[in-house]
Amino acid sequence: MVYVENQVPETDTRADPEAWIARIGHRHSGNELEVIRRAVGLARRAHKEQIRASGEPYLTHVIAVADILAGLNLDHESLGAAILHDSVEDSDLTLEEIAETCGPGVAHLVDGVTKMRIIGDYQKELGDSSKESARAESLRKLLLAMAEDVRVVLIKLADRLHNMRTLKHLPEEKQRRIARETMDIYAPLANRLGIWQVKWELEDLAFRYLDPITYRQIARFLRERRVDRQRYIQNVIGVLEGQMTEAGIKADIKGRPKHLYSIWKKMQRKGLGFHQLYDVRAVRILVDSVAECYHVLGIVHSLWPHIPREFDDYIATPKENMYQSIHTAVVGPEGKTLEVQIRTWDMERHAELGVAAHWRYKEGRKQDQNFEQKIAWLRQLLEWKEEEGSAGDFIDRFKSEVFQDRVYVLTPDGEVIDMPQGATPLDFAYHIHSEVGNRCRGAKVDGRIVPLTYELHSGEQVEILTTRHGGPSRDWLNPHLGYLKTSRARSRIRAWFKQQDHEKNIADGKTALDRELHRLAVSDLDRLKLARHFGLQQVDELLIAVGRGDINTAQIGHAVHHLTRREDETDTLAPVQRRKGAKGGDIHIRGVGNLLTNMARCCTPAAGDPIVGFITLGRGVTIHRRECSNILNLPEEKRRRIIEVDWSASEKNTYQVDLEIEAVDRQGLLRDISTVLANEKINVLTTDTRSDKHRNTAKMLVTVEITDTNQLSRILSRIGQLPNILEARRRTR
């Protein structure tokens, strides 16, 4: 069995539900225990003939789920609902019967858990644009249920945790699907609600099935060094206990459990090996007050030198789920790195239990502020639903708020702003106010000018530089350029463009569309087809949508790629034959067997371009773009040698394309262009640069290998944003 240092063993609740009720009985009154017993009775009836994949009676699962919630100190209604959470879906038991037998509170929770099955549907449908609106509305209903009573989420999380503990009994394909769903949805939800003990175990169990080789390597690394690490930690604890006693501080000091997925994630994020990790050796110090936390921090830093950039004060700046603690890394005894976490007992309780702590400590309290803050984001999401311009925006914001890490930056006045990881100064500007974003022309981070595409980091102070007049740029909406991370900023920019004059939007849209098609060297695209690709009926509607920012140039590039692929799917010619091993890429030649093909040098077609084949004498078929001048000007007697060809479905081939770049000449121009291409992992075949000293301009011809016109659109956009670039386009011959 693979060693997992921190894995929580599955509690043995299978033998006798009555024994389990007796074990938790001291936490509940007689009436509360009676509700739980009645729930067990209903569950026995509902699941009496059902067997799990492990061969155990289904009742063992629902009792195990309830036991996980008992460990989180949830109330008796939650335990009763956990025992019945699958009964309505999987049997003839009704909510009315549950309400009559166990009370309306239990029935309400069971109903909420049943509705939360929509999470799985959401995951399965990701990327299906035809279902986007329905999915957004389902998410809104899910959030509403969570905001009304967040216990339904806790029951669902406990259900998933027990399923993950017993995942080994399922087929491998199903293991990976469930593990991926757990990592993408359930672990982030547990984190967002502050329930760290559930989050860590979900992540480790999912990691075990998603990447078993790496999982075993890290587990073996921890196991091999366990004895040495425990000896080292005991020595550190002894030193710290002596210092605490001398300072008159009552503290509990213990080694911190290790989580395999967090170790792997840190290795990936920082590019570190096992031996370079700071927190493989770690201790946690628990004290009574915040003042003592900082006193202890001073003691730790006086004992051992701290490691720069490895200090986080989450007491002064709590995480979005209200997690509070001080984290520091020091060079400890024997010159080994050591992580130290310092927090109060109350912070420890809320770190481990999150919103679940609310039910244990709510007695006698009018309001639990920590609880209210932890679920405030749910209510915010419901309010934002009214702001968003489309279902896609709402889904993007949901994913941003729930499934991404956060950064905490400061305004010039010292106010802490919580943003998604990867947010830019422009996102920050729109977070402050729409007008600040619209008039933004630059930004300073910690006093230095940075580009608007700069990625913000926690602790940085951001100042936005604005102009008196003006508005946003349409380039800000282009995802290829990296100006924006948040859907909130994008929706505000689109709202600004929608308010502009109708005729101006048509003119601006035509300019933007013409520029993009010119850059891609696409001259014969049916614009009505392009409009209908976006669900619009008229070309003017397309121009207005482009003009006001509803459709950006990246989307146009993607649509061009889609529309210039094979258009005659209903062609009744013989089945497509796939050419293998020929020079130049994968081509379908209709109605004939395999033929040698070559890419024409006159027009250098790339995947996604509309193409035709020309049968040569002795050199097979030459592939040309349809609008190639050599093809258009063929004499009539040679036109009979043109044949229909298509790109295959393969995405692994690359195609040569010539880029023409015109710029005001400056030092470092070629380097900057090369950097853009290198960052996009574009292979450069040749470069030819010619400078005009009189006009102080430079013209460059760069031959590159690309995979499709989508990629071409992206690199042209990014090159076009470089300083001094006048135009970047695809060359036609």
Give tens-digit pLDDT for 484-516. Answer: 888 778 878 887 887 776 777 788 888 888 887
pLDDT at 386 over 60: no
Has 609 been annotated as catalytic?
no
Tokens (6 digits) for 182? 């757990």
Give tens-digit pLDDT for 114-129. Answer: 766 644 444 444 444 4
Pure H helices in 211-250? 212-224, 226-247
Q: Which CATH class is domain 655-730?
A: alpha beta
pLDDT average, residue stretch 683-700: 85
Q: How far apart are the first and last CA of the chain?
A: 65
Q: Give yes or no for a contact between 370 and 319, defined as CB atoms under 8 angstroms apart.
A: no
Q: What is the DSSP string of 706-719?
A: ESSHHHHHHHHHHH
- Burial of 672 per CB tally in 10 Å (0-12, 13-18, 19+): middle
Choosing from 12, 16, 89, 501, the catalytic residue is 89
Has 475 been annotated as catalytic?
no
Give tens-digit pLDDT for 160-202. Answer: 899 999 888 888 888 888 888 888 778 877 877 777 788 888 9
Predicted confidence at residue 216, as pLDDT, reads 84
- How far apart are alpha carbons 322 and 351 in whole angstroms? 8
- How far apart are alpha carbons 49 and 54 in whole angstroms? 14
Query: Quick one: which H or E segment has residue 584?
Result: none
pLDDT at 61 over 60: yes
Of 300, 294, 295, 287, residue with least CA distance to 250: 287
Predicted confidence at residue 73, as pLDDT, reads 79
Predicted confidence at residue 4, as pLDDT, reads 37
**Strands 440-445 vs 448-450: parallel, antiparallel or unpaired:** antiparallel
Query: Quick one: which H or E segment has residue 377?
Result: helix 369-384
pLDDT average, residue stretch 438-464: 88
pLDDT average, residue stretch 251-268: 78
Predicted confidence at residue 286, as pLDDT, reads 92
Q: Give yes or no for a contact between 563 and 525, defined as CB atoms under 8 angstroms apart.
A: yes
Neighbouring C-beta atoms of residue 275, cutoff 10 Å: 10
Between residues 226 and 454, the one the model is more confident about: 454
Residues of the chain with CATH 3.10.20.30: 405-497
Predicted confidence at residue 404, as pLDDT, reads 53
Neighbouring C-beta atoms of residue 89, cutoff 10 Å: 12
Residues of the chain with CATH 3.30.460.10: 222-356
Give tens-digit pLDDT for 516-533. Answer: 787 777 777 778 888 887
Q: What is the architecture of the domain spanning 222-356?
A: 2-Layer Sandwich (3.30)
Q: Is the dihedral of CA 193, 196, 197, 200 positive or negative?
A: positive
Choosing from 12, 16, 18, 90, the catalytic residue is 90
Roughly what angle, to the nearest 10 degrees, separates helices 669-679 and 709-720?
140
Give tens-digit pLDDT for 567-589. Answer: 433 332 222 333 333 344 466 66
pLDDT at 720 over 60: yes
Residues of the chain with CATH 1.10.3210.10: 17-210
Give tens-digit pLDDT for 644-674. Answer: 777 765 445 677 888 888 888 888 888 888 8
Percentage, residues of the chain above pLDDT 70: 77
Predicted confidence at residue 148, as pLDDT, reads 64
- Please tell me the CATH code under which domain 405-497 is placed: 3.10.20.30
User: Can you state the percent helix, strand and coil of the chain, rounding each to 5?
Assistant: 50, 15, 35
- CATH pick for 17-210 out of 1.10.3720.10, 3.40.50.1010, 1.10.3210.10, 3.40.30.10: 1.10.3210.10
Q: What is the DSSP string of 266-280?
A: HHHHHT--GGG-SSS
